[in-house]
Amino acid sequence: MAGIKDYFSFSKRERTGALILIILIVIIYLLPAFFATPKRSLDPKAVEEMKQQMAELKRTDRDTNENFSGEGKENYMSDHEPSYKHQQTILLFQFDPNTLSAGGWKKLGLNDRTIKTISNYISKGGKFRKPEDIKKIYGLRRGQYEQLLPFVLLKSNDLEKKQRDSSYAIISNYRKMATRPHAIIDINSADTSLLIALPGIGTKLANRILHFRDKLGGFYSVEQVREIYGLQDSAFQKIKPFLQCNVSLIQQININTADAEILKDHPYIKWNIANAIISYRLQHGSYLSLEELLKIEIISPEMLEKLTPYLKVL
């Protein structure tokens, strides 16, 4: 029994420590009660005022985002809202909202803020396409909208109508020309106006034909027109029956006087051919005939046949 009793007995030092520990625990437990913040009761009137301020802030933000939204909602002011403190003198007249100046809007009774909104809308590419579009103007009162609507005159509509009528006339004339019989033209003397009258030939192709003709010195065969860049075979087949070429108009190059620069400027003569023609002439003297060109190793009979209409010996 003496051994068990030893486990349940404490020395004076141990009892003092346990007492201090218990006191600390009690102090810690009771301490929050002395420093707790007293609960405040909320003033119902202050809460209500705060709610109203938040609602007003949300409404202002929503109105700003809906400015010129174009979603079909009526965002102009109601007649039931308070009127201006100072009545403005309003002058009504016909106007185009797409071109009206700030001074014009002022005469119609709009305030500076609304006028600035319209100016920003126009400057960013906005456009009023029909009279009813003015009701999308943020800040425009319902009464103002109904008052101004009869005076809206969109001049751009008249211009667009004229442009459509003009385009229709051009297309109509083109269709008439397309069904009208074409006269046969000489491609060695034709100008741009004659070429674009042909079916499927526009200004760009007509200019290419003339440029190629000038570089060649003229066409000796209608088939050469096939070589025009960008000319489809189907388009060539349509214009072929209306083409002919007067070979007497071809400009020829005298191979006894021309230099290499003149020769290689021709579409059918590459720089090595031009240099070979000049080198042979310097070594053997002037050419007596075009057939002498066959003595140049790089010139074949087929090439000479292609070049003959454009070369001469004098």
When mean pLDDT is compared over 5-14, 101-110, 260-269, the highest value belongs to: 260-269
Q: Is the confidence at residue 252, as pLDDT, over 80? A: yes
Contact 264, 270 (CB under 8 A): yes
Q: Report the CATH number that the domain containing residue 91 is assigned in CATH.
A: 1.10.150
Per the listing, tokens 């004076």 go with 12
Same domain, 124 and 192: no
Q: What one-character-per-residue DSSP string does 279-309 give? A: HHHHHH-S-SSGGGGGGSTT--HHHHHHHGG
Band the pLDDT of 160: cuts 50, 70, 90: low
**Same domain flag for 195 and 101:** no
- Residue with the bigger pLDDT between 155 and 272: it is 272
On whether both 191 and 232 belong to a single domain, the answer is yes
Is 67 within the bounds of a domain? no
CA distance 153 to 104: 14
Residue 240 has pLDDT above 60, yes or no: yes
230 and 304 belong to one structural domain:
yes
44 inside domain: no
**pLDDT value for 241:** 92
When comparing pLDDT for 94 and 54, which is higher?
A: 94
Residue 65 lies in a domain: no
Can you name the residues that pair with 141 across neighbouring β-strands?
Answer: 77
DSSP state of 38: P
Domain containing 147 equals 74-79+87-162
Three-point CA angle 283, 289, 291, nearest 5°:
90
Q: Assess whether pLDDT exceeds 80 at residue 254.
A: yes
CATH number at 222 reads 1.10.150.320
185-186 and 243-244 strand pairing: parallel
Does residue 301 form part of some domain? yes
Return the closest-CA partner of residue 231 out of 246, 211, 248, 215: 211
List Cβ neighbours of 303 (8 Å cut-off, separation of 6 or more). 273
Residue 111 resides in a domain: yes
Q: Are residues 146 and 193 in the same domain?
A: no
Same domain, residue pair 221 and 283:
yes
pLDDT band at 33 (very low <50, low <70, confident <90, very high): low
Tell whether 154 and 189 lie within a shared domain.
Answer: no
129, 162, 195: which is the final residue of a domain?
162
Dump strand ranges (E) for 155-197: 185-186
Pairing of strands 243-244, 253-254: unpaired
- Looking at the predicted structure, is the pLDDT value of residue 153 above 70? yes
284 and 239 co-located in one domain: yes
Same domain, 209 and 151: no
Percent pLDDT > 70 in the chain is 71
If asked whether residues 193 and 307 sit together in one domain, one would say yes
Nearest 10 degrees: CA dihedral of 260, 265, 267, 272? Answer: 30
Q: Which residues of 258-276 are buried (b: 16+ CB within 10 A; e: fewer)?
A: bebeebbebeebeeebbeb
What is the DSSP track for 197-252? TSTT--HHHHHHHHHHHHHHTS-S-GGGGGGSTT--HHHHHHHGGGEE--GGGPPP
For residue 19, is it within any domain? no
Q: Please indicate, yes or no, whether the overall pTM of this predicted structure exceeds 0.85.
A: no
Alpha-carbon gap, residue 305 to 183, rounded angstroms: 31
Nearest to 263 by CA among 208, 209, 217: 217
Q: Tell me if 68 is assigned to some domain.
A: no
Domain count, the chain: 2
Exposure string (b/e) for 135-165, b if CB count within 10 Å is 16 or more?
Answer: bbbbbbbeebbeebeeebebeeeeeeeeeee
Q: How far apart are CA 292 and CA 311, in angstroms?
A: 12
Q: What percent of the chain has pLDDT over 90?
A: 39
150 and 93 together in one domain: yes
pLDDT at 264: 93
Domain assignment present for 69: no
Judge whether residue 210 has pLDDT over 90. yes
Comparing 28-32, 70-74, 151-155, 203-207, the range with the smallest average pLDDT is: 70-74
Last residue of a domain, one of 131, 162, 193: 162
146 and 191 part of one domain? no
- Per-residue pLDDT tens for 172-192? 555 555 445 568 899 999 999
